[in-house]
Amino acid sequence: MKMGFEKGHIKYGGRQRGIKNATSKELKSILGDFVAEQLEGLPSTFNSIASLERRLELLIKLLPFVLPKAQEISLEMLSDSKLDFLVETLKNEKEREN
């Protein structure tokens, strides 16, 4: 006896594809409101932390949400057209400086 879903059968009932679970949607809304409220008081909370080390730890943890992560770029990674564009741009900047 085979149990469970068999390929080729039509799906009956349940949520339609792409529709979020109502509980998850409500929880996201509640958490979003809570975080928004906390963000308003973040500067005063940050300034109330006495330890410089703790403030720096918090700042380091928050930075990835604001700044993009730095990536190393080498000239070997550039295509010929991008490399030509870069050379021309640098030449034009040099000419403008003179």
Structure confidence by residue, pLDDT tens digits, 5-60: 677 777 677 767 777 777 888 899 999 999 999 989 989 999 999 999 999 999 99
Q: 82-85 long-range CB contacts below 8 Å, 24 or more apart?
A: none
Predicted confidence band of residue 94 (pLDDT cuts 50, 70, 90): confident
- Residue ranges of the domains in the chain? 21-65
Alpha-carbon gap, residue 66 to 69, rounded angstroms: 9
Question: Are the beta carbons of 66 and 74 closer than 8 angstroms?
Answer: no
Question: Are the beta carbons of 58 and 49 closer than 8 angstroms?
Answer: yes
pLDDT value of position 71: 81
